[in-house]
A and B are shown apart, each in its own frame.
Chain A
């Protein structure tokens, strides 16, 4: 068998069903073999390799399975870099298989040669160059093991063209351990004991969950802990949807544009229980004043995260699916009614100062939050939220209501504009039975607009809601607040987006008036095909509450 067939057989052995890719000279051998595998793999031909990587991310995030990407050497490979960096920041398991020039040409500046390994080493969990056909099965087995186990992340496999063309004796053995890598550190009895002890002593405990809970499929385990000890809980941006929005103990999102309740209570609680989150600067603001009064317990699978930003009272190393139940067992039943009730005044304040204006305005142009909430209500509890980056992202995250886990797909760590369209199409392929609603801005839409072609070709039924303000809204917001309203290059002269959608055969509508909103959304949901809804929104809209970068979590701006 040739190396190319070995690649496809190995992917088949790993249970891969979908590949996002784009062909080119060096990878032609794989595409040639792929011709014989059309029954096994659904290959999605993207329009730009960056989109292949983001689509693989969307697919992975919604399905829990690794996303697979095929690209050719040189520009094909370098085009994936933003997506790989994004997956690294957000711990998303993707496997990028790129072809490379034949091994005798390595290092000679051959046509379409780039040092992909050198370029991607800092932004991959693992990267490896395969130069011999016989190394292909083992390297792929390792790639899947590494991408999916422990804290997940992107893996790059760079395969030389001669390795693809030469033959080997194919045999596949799944990888189940690597001696230099401990994916799930064993929980320490003593840590568990101590964690339970600290939680039992708490009068005002607050839990903050991150994506680790979703990655570990530990939603139920976390719920058991929270319910037994009656601990109010907040989520980071990437932890959203691990708990339903209407979960009784759920108090909202932390961070720069998070909810008042959990942000203020961070600096009031006596025990902060961080579960599978990494204390990003967008969550903590000023570290010097962050939760200083509290004992902090940090549950994480990655030893390098414990103490990286916040030095915890106790770090509990291990997979939260394993550590949380061990702690729950030892935690005493408790109730913190008064403490839980103390969130209410903050919620009321946010409701009055922010929510009513953003979600229930009665006059003036449409507001982003309002559009999000109406779409969310009509989409139902099962829907998946995908957001691009900017105001649209924060509005989507704040006002979409989650009913089901693995329903929030966004570029958190890297904040990659242009993530939205490809991630959404990947998500729809990963969860074809679910409604996938993408919110994005006019800036982000135009960064990966070419993927309308992919959506058309493969009839991918994503619902795209453009929150159009004809501005680079989030940057404009910063300019208004921090740069004396010097709106430097944040105005956009935009095309007629509906016409673009039409050109791709995507159903589309424009909505400007409040009274047309629901029926337009209903029309959008009347079938399972792709749709572009252009919602013309308030141009000078702002996302509130806002904690400016580096400020204390309690220094919140509520309105102009």
Chain B
């Protein structure tokens, strides 16, 4: 996606589970005047490690510097960025619609089929739909529903994303890092002993 010559980048951050980390990340984005488009945070596959997925419009030079600054923070394990073509990604959206409007329209089968909707709840008052997809898709459904039956409430999540290429797993990275730390420590002891000799 492009916007004023800027590209939508997805920043992925793995961090220790400490208070204040989101603040540390947003401070860095603020300083370079990058707006967060979407944000999602959750525990990662590894216990005690959190994963942030942030999308923001930026130019390449800025995003590279900003991600280095984020990566530099002590409690952050790893930060990297990708463009959309390097990712598989989705957002999830919920729509609440008055039941009576839907009934007036007659059937909702075609709607469900055409838009790949899941029905989460139906009450006398309202129906809640869920749709998973790209931004444009969830947006299009919102617009369609608004025009036809009206939307009482609408909410969309931040993006979740998985890289297409390289299977650099965090657990492997951590293992490699532990090894490197051990290697450095050994080197250090060798150096120290040579000094005392």
Contact = CB atoms under 8 A, between A and B. Distances in A.
B65 A308 contact: yes
A180 interface: yes
A227 interface: no
B106 interface: no
Nearest to A177: B181
A117 B20 contact: yes
Interface stretch (A76-84, A120-128, A196-204, A545-553): A120-128
B74 A125 contact: yes
Interface stretch (A31-39, A181-189, A462-470, A510-518): A181-189
Interface stretch (B87-95, B146-154, B172-180): B172-180
Nearest to B49: A180
B140 interface: no
Contacts of B77: 179-180
A304 B75 contact: no
Contacts of A129: 19
Contact of A178 (B24, B64, B74, B183): B74
A11 interface: no
Contacts of A178: 74
B52 to A, nearest CB: 14
A184 B184 CA distance: 9
Given A125-B74, A126-B74, A304-B72, A179 B20 contact: no
B27 interface: yes
Contact of A180 (B64, B74, B180): B74
B72 A121 contact: no
Contacts of A127: 20
A302 interface: yes
Interface residues of B, number: 27
Contact of A121 (B24, B65, B177, B185): B24
A304 B68 contact: yes
B19 to A, nearest CB: 8
Q: DSSP class of A's interface residues: helix, strand, loop or mixed?
A: mixed
Contacts of A177: 181, 185
B65 A180 contact: no
Interface string A33-73: 00000000000000000000000000000000000000000
B27 A122 contact: yes
B97 interface: no
Contact of B16 (A122, A180, A182): A180
B15 interface: yes
Nearest to A128: B18
A104 interface: no
A182 B177 contact: yes
Interface in A80-138: 117-118, 121-122, 125-129
Contact of B177 (A122, A125, A179): A179
B125 interface: no
Interface in B30-74: 31, 64-65, 68-69, 71-72, 74
B23 interface: yes
A303 interface: yes
B16 A121 contact: no
A164 interface: no
B74 A121 contact: no
A338 interface: no
A146 B69 CA distance: 16
Nearest to B76: A180
27 contacts: A118-B20, A121-B20, A121-B27, A122-B31, A127-B20, A146-B74, A176-B185, A177-B185, A179-B77, A179-B174, A179-B177, A179-B181, A180-B15, A180-B74, A180-B76, A180-B77, A181-B74, A182-B177, A184-B184, A186-B184, A302-B72, A303-B68, A303-B71, A304-B65, A304-B71, A307-B64, A308-B68
Given A126-B74, A186-B180, 6 more contacts: A121-B27, A122-B31, A146-B74, A179-B77, A184-B184, A303-B68
Interface of A: 117-118, 121-122, 125-129, 146, 176-182, 184, 186, 302-304, 307-308
